[in-house]
């Protein structure tokens, strides 16, 4: 099975080496680091570690993920992972297992079910994730508890979903579109630790409010689209 790993970065020089070193080399076919205007040498460090580096000057977390996805080389599964070392790349087998075993089309790593350190996820970010996950359960019938960045999907499924969100709405688009299309979405527990460096989202009021807006508005937007199209609620 060909596995491509996509890692969006912006000034992650303190962490990117540890992230890349911890990826299980026996499971990964290619690693693509999509860098957004880093000024701390992140791209050079990633190249030295053997990753393919693609520069994406346009802003947006989803944009970086989409750019990475467009540059993969015929993978069977695509994994998305942040470059701050808050998730543990060594847990890649946990993320891949449901897909490899044929039980899932998309897997999501939940930070609430596994090992985590106090303060790893700020209270407002934890509350927002639980609220958004609850709304997804209510409107789409998908059993999720978190919208964590550590996730994977079959490449053919991701292509079929025609993902397009360039903002932090990316966190929900894959889930809600997958639910509407009837794909199997499975959540697994992963550990979570304090990120290395300052968060671009929860570290600022602007980032927190912006991410919350894009996430919640996209949940509602796709639900309204589904209702207008007459698509039945997934079982």
> Is residue 39 scored above 70 in pLDDT?
yes
E strands in 84-216: 106-110, 151-154, 185-189
| Cα Rg, the chain, nearest whole Å | 17
Q: Indicate the domain borders of the chain.
A: 3-229
For domain 3-229, the question of CATH label 3.30.470.10 is answered with: no
> Is residue 202 scored above 50 in pLDDT?
no
pLDDT digits (tens, 9 = 90+) for 86-144: 999 999 999 999 999 999 999 999 988 766 666 677 767 778 888 888 999 999 999 99
pLDDT at 208: 66
pLDDT digits (tens, 9 = 90+) for 129-170: 888 889 999 999 999 999 989 999 999 999 999 999 998 888
* Helix 170-181 × helix 61-70 angle, to 10°: 60
pLDDT at 62: 94
Which are the contacts of 68, defined by CB distance < 8 A and separation ≥ 6?
6, 7, 8, 32, 34, 54, 80
- Mean per-residue pLDDT of the chain: 89
Q: Give the pLDDT mean for 46-69.
A: 95
The pLDDT-based confidence of 206 (bands split at 50, 70, 90) is low
Model-level pTM?
0.88
- Taking CA atoms, 185 is separated from 11, 28, 142, 191, 198, in Å, by 32, 22, 7, 19, 31
CB 54 within 8 A of CB 28: no
pLDDT at 115: 63
């Amino acid at each position: 099975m060909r596995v491509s790993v996509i890692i969006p970065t912006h000034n992650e020089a303190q962490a990117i080496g540890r992230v890349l070193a911890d990826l299980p080399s026996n499971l990964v076919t290619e690693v693509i680091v999509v860098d957004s205007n880093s000024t701390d040498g992140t791209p050079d460090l990633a190249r030295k570690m053997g990753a393919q580096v693609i520069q994406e000057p346009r802003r947006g977390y989803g944009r970086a993920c989409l750019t990475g996805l467009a540059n993969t080389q015929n993978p069977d599964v695509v994994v998305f992972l942040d470059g701050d070392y808050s998730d543990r790349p060594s847990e890649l087998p946990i993320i891949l297992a449901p897909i490899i075993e044929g039980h899932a089309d998309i897997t999501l790593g939940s930070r609430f079910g596994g090992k985590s350190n106090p303060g790893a996820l700020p209270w407002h970010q934890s509350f927002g994730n639980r609220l958004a996950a609850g709304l997804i359960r209510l409107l789409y019938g998908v059993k999720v508890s978190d919208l964590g960045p550590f996730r994977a999907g079959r490449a053919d499924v991701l292509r079929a979903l025609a993902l397009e969100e360039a903002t932090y709405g990316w966190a929900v688009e894959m889930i809600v579109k997958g639910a509407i299309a009837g794909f199997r979405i499975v959540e697994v527990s992963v550990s979570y630790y304090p990120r290395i460096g300052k968060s671009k989202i929860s570290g600022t009021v602007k980032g927190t409010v912006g991410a919350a807006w894009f996430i919640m508005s996209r949940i509602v937007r796709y639900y309204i689209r589904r209702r207008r199209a007459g698509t039945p609620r997934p079982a």
